Structure 1
């Protein structure tokens, strides 16, 4: 059985249909292109036009290379091409629940301790002086974390482990200013401190009263290993300079003023932004709180290798500071 043959259209009618199809395709393509261009919006940085807010421009008003581009100079470095409103420059260390991602508690202050399991009894006493207004972070230089589970507060603490690393190695990597920006004060302490005469909340009251950006509790020690600047005094709440100036070309500069020890420093969030980048603060904003003091037990809490590296890092820091001072002199 054969299929019937189709009747052939006149040549003029076929030509007319072909022409109509070409024109229809052209206008559909033009409409799609116009729709695409209208919907493709370019965001320009407000910094390019200081007298106006964020500018919006249809890509039809710009050349092809400018379409699809988003640039907001106020975004963090590396995120300039993201749309405004979705960028968040800071984070936090607040713990969150498994259901609904709700924040369990927002603390006002932060306590970070470099710890080893041998000093867990002393560390427990230290933490007991800090209320639930503090986020607790333990830097485990001996790699042991589960052994702290016996303490109730350990269940709400943050545990970070990297064997044989110093406190400042941890601080540089895990306490970035954008991460701890929501904490008013950051305590970065050693573990061999007696806190019988210390209360964290009372300490903060004094720091605020005297507007101290960088501070530490005054220190006593049976072994006598104390700087004159940080030694506890009687009948004063805080002090900013050593009582007796020794080996000082300038009594307003270290080691007679303008410094605290790395043993138990406390930083405001603004000061920490500077310290994290190794920048000093003015000496008038640095002081020792005598009304709340601690005891330095001088215990061998770190391994020999880590202690050696601590001294090596300090020597490197002094080398950098000297080079920076020389460069500043040459610049000016």
Structure 2
């Protein structure tokens, strides 16, 4: 419930729409947090030097005004904090969510660690969204807390259970386990020539995915992506010990999802996303069986309910608002 002492909050920058999901939900709950997207904070520069300078000036004026209007800023991604703390910006206390590369790669780099650590040290509170970064996050900040990536079910399409289409959900990059998924694709193409394999034409290893038998579709809007995912029989997630928004959105439609390897348990309740998982041969065997009864496998996994229980922003908004109030009172 809104409170008379609610601070004016700005969510600054974003990754995987976590900030957007929180802000959208805050408005449903009556808090009306403000929001600057990643594009708002770091816009794509036009090639024309004059146009680029004008864009920089407009961005600085607008963002300065929005930060000045806030009493608390919640920054998403450590590497944008130096922009927030520059001499051109009004100084505001800030919360920080670590989204992956900042704590996984930049903080781990000895040359960059002092900069990232300073951003972490100066934050009122720190959260991390990727389970594989827990050790780094808690080493950098002992009181760092897990806050998951969020989905918005209203942006998804219902699963249509079309037959014989396997959807690869992630782009073809190292950090998404592309090499392992290309091996999986090649094996599926060999064993299931009557089944269509589809993925996005996105990522360094997209040509290898095509050569392995995956039909590649152009990058698309989120709405088109959601409809495409919901039209599949089975989804293939990134070959990593943790999943991302793409997988959680697919699971929330009802689509059964298969993933190579195993997942890291959540620190709050020890649960893992309900997927078809295991070694290459184990996952292939489960996919073959799932193709005969996708609805039955989806019901057995019950992944949709798990995602809706674990990856909606509602419970976190009120918790954050209480922490914002506490920070402002101090």
Per the shorter chain, which TM-score range?
under 0.3
User: Which structure shows the higher helix fraction?
Assistant: 2
Give the TM-score taking structure 1 as reference length.
Answer: 0.26
Larger Rg: 1
